[in-house]
Structure 1
Amino acid sequence: MADSTEVKAKVQEMDGIKKAAIFMISIGPETSAQIMKQLPDSYIQKVSYEIANIDYVSPKEREAIVNEYLEMSQAREYILDGGIDYAKNLLNKALGTQRAKEVIDMLNQIQLRERPFNIARKADPQQLTNLLLGEQPQTVALILCYMQPDKAAQILINFPIEKQAEIAERIGTITNTSPSVIEKIEKVIESKFSTYVENDTENVGGVSTLVEILNQVGRSTEKAIVGELEQSQPELAEEIKASLFTFEDIVSLQKNDVQKVLRDVDHDDLVLALKGVSDDLREFIYENLSSRAVETLKEDMQYLGPARLSAVEEAQQNVVTVIRRLDELGEIYIMRGEQDAIIE
Structure 2
Amino acid sequence: MGKMSDDAELTDIEKAAILLISLGEDDAAEVLKHLGPKQVQLIGEAMTQLDNIPQSSVEGVVSDFMHLVSDQTGIGINNDRYIRAMLNQALGEEKAKTLLDRILMSTNTSGLDTMRWMEPRQIAETIRFEHPQIQAVIVSYLDPDQAATVLAFFDDKVRLDIVMRVAALDQIQPQALQELNDMLEGQFSSARSGKSRTLGGVKQASEIMNFIDSTIEAELMESIREVDDGLATQIQDLMFVFDNLIDVDDRGIQVILREVSTDVLIIALKGAETALQEKIFKNMSKRAAELLRDDLEAKGPVRVSEVEEAQKEILTVARRLADEGEIMLGGGGDEMV
Please tell me the TM-score bracket, short chain as reference: 0.3 to 0.5
TM-score normalised by length of structure 2 = 0.46
Q: Which protein has greater RCO, CA pairs closer than 8 Å, 6+ apart?
A: 2
TM-score normalised by length of structure 1 = 0.45
